Structure 1
Amino acid sequence: MNSQKDHVMQYQLRIAGEHYKSLQQHLFPGDGKEAVAVALCGRYERDGISILLTHQIELLSHDECQRDPNFIHWKTERIVPLLEKAEKENLGILKIHSHPGGYMQFSETDNQSDTEFFQSVFGWCDHDGVHGSAVMVPDGQIFGRVFTPSLENFTIDKISVAGDSIWIFDKSEVEQDDFSVRTRQAFGDATYSQLKKMKVGIVGCSGTGSPTIEQLVRLGVGNLLIIDPDTVERKNLNRILNTTMQDADASRFKTEVLTDAIDKMGLGTKVIAYNVNLYESREALEELISCDVIFGCVDSVDGRHLIAQLTNFYLVPFFDLGVRLDADGRGGIKGITASIHYIQPGCSSLFSRKLYTQKRLYDENLKRQNPADFEEQEKQGYVHNANVDRPAVISINMQISAMAVNELLNRLHLFKDEEPKNYAKVTMDYTGGCIINEAESSFAQDAISQKWVGRGDCKPFLRLMEL
């Protein structure tokens, strides 16, 4: 039943962290018997990539199923409301059950039940998108396959979880590099292998962006997507790695300079670069969706909001970096603080954490879309501190960048004493001489994020009319 036919499409499954927790608890209740759940999934389809994204989970109660250590039976009629919604909104259906014994293949019983189940699903859903079947084993690993309308099935190439920890189940092989020996000694071969297979997006290539890029390349990340619309200027040579006075005088794009620097390193990292504003490039946004992790290194509220929307809809872990250096106006420093927000889909958001207000978002959107109206409202006192430039220096930027990269590493390979969930926000008060960690549970959850988590492709794109 498991088709080995070559195909150009790469299939992926992404699971929100909260969904993963619910599934793990439900599928392994402790009695050694199989259990099952069904998920409504958003979709992403582009350039040979097809991704199912968990949007809504339906846990089928143990009492309504016939359960055994080696099989489970249940009635498809139970999920008719999900099938109706899938048909209406072009969503996918994912069936996921457990193998309590840890068997890492689909059994003959699975093959038969999947064929019957997906015949029924395609009978309800009159569109060509694939649906999926997956299995979780006791250690939390997941494997799966997709079914086409002709009931051909193909292995899911990559399964990822965007939660407190970042799990990526991808069995493709990578070659070890001589330069990576220290990384492998510190974090293990498995973590290095994971980094080598990852695609990481960095939006903003200046103060915190350029040292983040430098570290990721030297850690061995396989693919980087870098996005920044600006050119190098003399005023920012004090904080952008690998830039020169010659680059500033030639007004070279930051992405161009950094791409050249990465290529000269010769460490094997492949780079895709866009010198665009995200709001003006659907292509760059589409490229971001295919990333495994995104670092937001931007100052603007509207930029942060757009990245947050995209990562919530498409289940991408998101690290937001921010630095604030307040000068006292007399040649001194009044305060230095910096923060890393780790945003996982469907939980608290930058908005619910009060990083910005609707008014501030409106003001910055106005400044970008209609500068003349913005200027007039600013004169009349309706706008305050929208996109105000603040001093920035490389020493602080590099420190918070290193902390952010270590946060990524800790979520791939736990090395801190406390669990990753306790580091949803890390604040460094440099003038106060302290680091403050805040847990995800300490923040208000965002009801809008929960509603649209994993929704994937829809119209308008990301529910933003201007896109």
Structure 2
Amino acid sequence: MQYQLSISGIHYDQIRKHLFPGDHLEAVAVALCGRLAGKGIHKLLVNDVVLIPYDECERSADFVVWKTDRIIPLLEKAAKHNYAILKIHSHPGGYEAFSSLDDDSDTRLFSSVFGWTDGDYPHGSSIMLPDGRIFGRVFFPNLKAEALNKICIAGDTIQVWDYSTKASGEAEIGRRTIQAFGEATYRLLSKCKVGIIGCSGTGSPVIEQLVRLSVGNLVLVDPDKVELKNLNRILNTKRADAEKGRHKVDVLKEAILEFGLGTDIEVFAKNIYEDLTCQRALAECDILIGCVDSVDGRDLINHLSTYYLIPYFDIGIKLEANGTGGVSKIVGTINYIQPGKSSLISRGLYDAEDLKAAGLFRMYPEQFPELVKNSYIKNINVSRPAVISVNMMLASYAVNELLNRVHPYKVDPPGEFAQSTIDLTEGCFIHQAEDRLDIDAFLISKVGLGDRKIFLDLVELSHLK
């Protein structure tokens, strides 16, 4: 079993500022966490944070004693909803282990926590070092502890600290990547799990690049089969694949395994709305990349990002042509979504009416034209022109933006590139900073909620088991 911790950039910054006020004394915070409880993985997902005031603590350079009165509301919520409690404190001197004082403190705290809560699920304790790195452990009802294997931060930058014993990729294969971005970034990529939703003209070049960057694990999702009209842009597809009606994800998996570069592949020839196993596999990912046109699909991925604290790259391309060679617009946009800040809907990429239309088209494709004709619903464009050179350019930009989030290399900080638009017809590049975009007032309350009785609290998914 793998035990992991995920924190949004908002909560991480809040915690780090509190734990290191500049006086070189230990400080402490406590978080309420949702959970992802999988078969081989258990994630703690920070939902809310209580910063224990300095004047309620006895603080020194190597210990902190604090009153627990402030966390009673968190304990009540944890008991009611089966949430986790996470204690996080600082080691301002940089000591990279739990001390004997920490062991005694945690034993007393979690004995009390398990007295408040029922169930066998773990709670957590972690330490932040002066450079911002975090390590930790989880406790069980018998007060035995196991180390956290991975800790992920989904903020302006993507930080991943992997403490598992899994070996990195083959160094010789990654030599040129290491020369460009360093050994640490190469190791990070080799231990990352990335979900790609949509494996066609944009998704396939994204997948190709991630494999050749030595990303360790990929989850590929696309319900469609290869057709002759796809062969102009889907990498690694052949006429024979179209003639046999093979699923896109199966063709891509076969090609990736033949590369022999060490990437593990899990595929789902499913619509993201129609398979709970697929949805939960995506929830276990460290990064999500959406290459889909449908607004309901994009909105579902945005919810996954929020509930499970996963950074999300959305790639959208608009190519307007008259069908006879006249091109009026070629525009592509990469949106980087981090939990608790702006969303695709708050950025104006679609609205409630668009979601309604997309949902009806997905559920009632045959009746949809009649609904549009009678003005019950907005029309949607389901067949658009697509050209490999445009798809590959936007795919490459998105992958480079991912690299900039894990290994910042641009002159401007990553937060300046929350939304990047490339307009080929106008010959311009426009980017928007995260702090200039509207926060999603609805989704901010869903950050880190994790597993729910109905997946993502979406009624349309209530039938999935």
TM-score, normalized by the shorter chain, greater than 0.5:
yes
Indicate the residue corresponding to 1:152 in structure 2: 144
Alignment of 1:259 onto 2:262: no
The superposition leaves residues 304-323 of structure 1 with CA deviations (integer Å, 9 ceiling, x where unpaired) of 01111111100111000000
Question: What residue is the counterpart of 2:10 in the other structure?
Answer: 18
Q: Does 1:346 align with 2:340?
A: yes
Amino acid at match of 1:360: D
- CA–CA separation in structure 1 for the residues paired with 2:143 and 2:203: 45
Deviation at 1:449, TM superposition (A): 1.4
Normalised TM-score (structure 1): 0.97
* TM superposition shift of 1:372: 4.6
- Counterpart residue identity of residue 273, structure 1: V
Distance across 2 between alignment mates of 1:214 and 1:291: 18
TM-superposed deviation, 1:374: 2.7
Aligned partners of 1:364 and 1:387 also within 8 Å: no
Once residues 358 and 175 of structure 1 are traced to their aligned partners in structure 2, the CA distance between those partners, rounded to angstroms, is: 44
Deviation at 1:384, TM superposition (A): 2.9
For residue 450 of structure 2, what is the aligned residue in structure 1?
A: 456
Task: Pick one of 61, 68, 71 that aligns with 2:53.
Answer: 61
1:125-204 counterparts in 2 under 5 A?
Answer: 125-171=117-163, 172=165, 173-204=167-198
Q: Select 1:113's aligned residue among 105, 110, 114.
A: 105
SS in 1 for 2:31: strand
Q: Which residue of 2 aligns with 1:275?
A: 269
1:388 aligns with 2:421: no
Aligned to 1:312, the other structure's residue is in SS state helix
Is the CA contact (8 Å cut-off) linking 1:43 and 1:53 kept in structure 2?
yes
What SS does structure 1 have at the residue aligned with 2:44? strand
Amino acid in structure 2 at the alignment position of 1:369: M
1:29-60 deviation per Cα after TM superposition (whole angstroms, max 9, x unaligned)? 00001111010000011112111000011111
Structure 2 unaligned spans of 5+: none
Deviation of the 1:85 alpha carbon = 1.0
Say which SS state the counterpart of residue 41 (structure 1) adopts.
strand
- 1:349–1:445 Cα contact (<8 Å) kept: yes
Q: CA deviation at 1:236?
A: 1.4
Q: Provide the identity percentage.
A: 54
1:260 Cα shift?
1.1
1:280 CA displacement = 1.0
Candidates 396, 413, 417, aligned match of 1:419: 413
Residues 38 and 58 in structure 1, CA contact (< 8 A), matched pair in contact too: yes
After TM superposition, give the deviation of residue 368 of structure 1 in Å: 1.2
Task: Compute the displacement of 1:245 (Å).
Answer: 1.3
State how far apart, in whole Å, the 1-side matches of 2:99 and 2:300 are.
43
Mean CA deviation greater in 170-179 or 28-37:
170-179
The one-letter code sitting in structure 2 at the alignment partner of 1:320 is D
The aligned counterpart of 1:428 is 422
Q: Deviations over 1:261-288 (max 9, x none)?
A: 1111111111111111111110111111
Q: How far did residue 219 of structure 1 move?
A: 0.7
Which residue is 1:6 aligned to? none
1:325 corresponds to = 319
Distance between the aligned counterparts of 2:119 and 2:50, measured in 1?
22
Contact 1:300/1:387 (8 A) holds in 2:
no
Task: Write out aligned runs for 1:280-359 (5 A).
Answer: 280-359=274-353
Q: CA-to-partner distance for each residue in 1:44-100, whole Å, 9 max, x for gaps?
A: 111121110000111111111111111111112221111111111111000000000
Identify the match of residue 215 of structure 2 among 221, 224, 231: 221
Which contiguous aligned blocks of 4+ residues in structure 1 show a shift greater than 3 angstroms? none
**Cα distance in 1, alignment partners of residues 42 and 454 from structure 2:** 20
Partner of 1:27: 19
Q: Which one-letter code corresponds to 2:185 in the other structure?
A: T
How far apart, CA to CA, are the structure 1 residues paired with 2:378 and 2:83? Answer: 42
Quote the residue 1:3 is aligned against.
none
**CA distance in 1: counterparts of 2:169 and 2:397, whole angstroms:** 28
The partner residue of 2:203 within 172, 197, 209 is: 209
- 1:360-395 CA-to-partner distances (Å, cap 9, x unmatched) read 101111111233553321111233332432111000
Q: State the Cα RMSD in Å.
A: 1.1
Contact in 1 for aligned 2:357/2:379 (Cα 8 Å): no
* Cα shift at 1:460: 1.4
The residue number in structure 1 matching 2:459 is: 465
Task: For residue 282 of structure 2, give the secondary structure of its aligned residue in structure 1.
Answer: helix
CA distance in structure 2 between the partners assigned to 1:459 and 1:354 by the alignment: 30
Unaligned runs of 5+ in 1: 1-8
Mapped partners of 1:330, 1:223: distance in 2: 42
Distance 2:450 2:362 in 1: 26
**Equivalent residue for 2:96, pick from 99, 104, 110:** 104
Residues 86 and 125 in structure 1, CA contact (< 8 A), matched pair in contact too: yes
**Per-residue CA distance 1:189-228 (angstroms, 9 max, x = gap):** 1111111111111100001100000000111111111110
